[in-house]
């Protein structure tokens, strides 16, 4: 096993070296890749300029934006509990870094350098973290190997594991060693916990999903958006959040035939000129953009297109019904919990197998999956005409959120003990 593990690590390092050579070329054709390449060049300088010898440092790592949102309740509690600690927040993806380089947790936000032995050792030398928190399953062999030889306490939170992942295949036994680099692991569900136990890892607790705490906190915030109140004008409102083109292809024909007494808010996942233009051309004069909303009479419009980021959580507060995007295509279902916390029924696309919260809400009867336009039309029509049914399904989702809070407290209690050791 030792021999096999080392052979795999050699192969992995060769592939990483090859990728490192190719990235600058690929970056010339992909703006997102180029942002990551340019950002990584600044990582070590940023760390050198912001961390001094003797600082107590916590390092939080997230692959992208989704993992950040999952870790945020824990990050916030740790920051509050240890205000003198410096926090380093790293991302692998530009999607996370670009959106959260300004955040309430820390000003030391960096791209994680590519996973090489040299990068891992230099990163740890500069950061010298007392505590390391990885989120979900972004596991990097060289960083974890370096951490194994470091004095840091290393924790994986919100782990979500499935039997078909490579860790649990016949060829993946060597990758299982990665989990043993962690001092403790918190899983989102019992299946993940049992999978870890099946490979002999026992320092594990099922804590549930921290996002339940995150979205519950949204109810304590000021969710007022006066311009939406003007737009909705006391009418029924359907909010379609984080939509992709596949989602918009079933939304648009429904909007075209909908009664004028029903209002629609569409918040696309990606704010790009081509996608926004396509939506505006499809929906015509009945639609208004957020960026142009001050120039028109909002109550006269039927569709509000949100061509900005950062306000979707507040927008769901105005919904009577929510459609959450990503599930009609293969991009991945977006956060249904953000809508559920406001006690409204939710419609999603057909692809949701990797999202346990969607499965559970569907089983409870608060969330509904549609395969095509016809099933979407039938489902949405019933919600539009039947207020009692709408309220009943929405209440199911609100109770579901309440039933699943508390993950953050479990994690913080354990982290406090680890930090004291």
pLDDT at 338: 97
C-alpha angle 154-109-306 in degrees, rounded to nearest 5: 115
Architecture, CATH, for domain 2-208+406-420: 3-Layer(aba) Sandwich (3.40)
How far is it, in rounded angstroms, from Cα 189 to Cα 177? 21
Q: What's the confidence (pLDDT) of residue 47?
A: 97
CA 391 – CA 182 distance, rounded (Å): 44
Each residue's pLDDT tens digit in the chain (421 positions)? 444 556 777 888 888 888 888 888 877 888 888 888 888 999 999 999 999 999 999 999 999 988 998 999 999 999 999 999 999 999 999 988 988 888 889 989 999 999 999 999 999 999 999 999 999 988 999 999 999 989 999 999 999 999 888 888 877 777 888 999 999 999 999 999 999 999 999 999 999 999 999 999 999 999 999 999 999 999 999 999 999 999 999 999 999 999 999 999 999 998 889 999 999 999 999 999 999 999 899 999 999 999 998 899 999 999 999 999 999 999 899 999 999 999 999 999 999 998 999 999 999 999 999 999 999 999 999 999 999 999 999 999 999 999 999 999 999 999 999 998 7
Q: Are 141 and 119 in contact (CB under 8 A)?
A: no
Which pLDDT value is given to residue 37? 85
R_g of the chain, CA atoms, integer Å? 23
Superfamily of structural domain 222-403: Glycogen Phosphorylase B; (3.40.50.2000)
Of 76, 82, 85, 79, the closest CA to residue 57 belongs to: 85
pLDDT at 292: 93
Residues of CATH 3.40.50.11720 domain(s) within the chain?
A: 2-208+406-420
Q: Where in the chain is the domain with CATH 3.40.50.2000?
A: 222-403
């Amino acid at each position: 096993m030792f021999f096999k593990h080392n052979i795999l690590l050699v192969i992995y390092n060769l592939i990483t070296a090859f990728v490192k050579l190719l990235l600058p070329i690929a970056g010339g054709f992909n703006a997102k890749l180029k942002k990551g390449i340019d950002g990584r060049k600044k990582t070590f300088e940023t760390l050198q300029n912001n961390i001094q010898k003797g600082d107590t440092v916590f390092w939080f790592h997230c692959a992208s934006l989704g993992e950040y949102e999952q870790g945020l309740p824990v990050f916030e509690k740790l920051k509050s509990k240890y205000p003198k600690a410096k926090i380093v927040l790293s991302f692998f993806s530009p999607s996370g870094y670009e959106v959260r380089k300004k955040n309430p947790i820390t000003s030391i936000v960096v791209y994680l350098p590519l996973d090489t032995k040299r990068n891992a050792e230099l990163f740890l030398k500069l950061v010298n973290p007392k505590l390391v928190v990885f989120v979900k399953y972004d596991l990097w062999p060289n960083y974890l190997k370096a951490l194994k030889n470091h004095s840091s306490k290393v924790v994986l939170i919100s782990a979500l594991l499935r039997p078909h992942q490579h860790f649990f295949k016949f060829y993946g036994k060597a990758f299982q060693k990665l989990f043993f680099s962690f001092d403790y692991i918190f899983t989102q569900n019992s299946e993940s916990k049992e999978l870890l136990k099946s490979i002999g890892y026992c320092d594990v607790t099922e804590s549930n999903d921290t996002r339940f705490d995150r979205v519950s906190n949204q109810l304590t915030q000021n969710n007022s958006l006066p311009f939406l109140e003007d737009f909705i004008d006391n009418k029924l409102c359907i909010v379609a959040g984080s939509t992709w083109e596949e989602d918009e292809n079933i939304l648009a024909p429904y909007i075209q035939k909908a009664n004028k007494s029903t209002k629609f808010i569409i918040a696309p996942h990606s704010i790009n000129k081509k996608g926004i233009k396509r939506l505006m051309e499809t929906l015509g004069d009945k639609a208004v953009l957020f960026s142009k909303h001050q120039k028109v009479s909002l109550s006269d419009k039927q569709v509000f297109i949100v061509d900005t980021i950062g306000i979707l959580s507040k927008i769901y507060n105005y919904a009577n019904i929510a459609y959450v995007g990503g599930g009609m295509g293969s991009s991945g279902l977006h956060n249904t919990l953000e809508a559920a916390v406001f006690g409204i029924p939710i419609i999603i696309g057909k692809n949701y197998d990797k999202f346990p919260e969607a499965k559970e809400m569907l089983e409870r009867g608060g969330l509904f999956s549609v395969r095509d336009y016809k099933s979407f039309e039938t489902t949405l029509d019933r919600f539009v005409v039947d207020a009692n049914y709408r309220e009943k399904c929405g209440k199911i989702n609100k109770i579901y959120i309440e039933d699943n809070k508390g993950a953050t407290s479990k994690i913080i209690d354990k982290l406090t003990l680890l930090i004291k050791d």
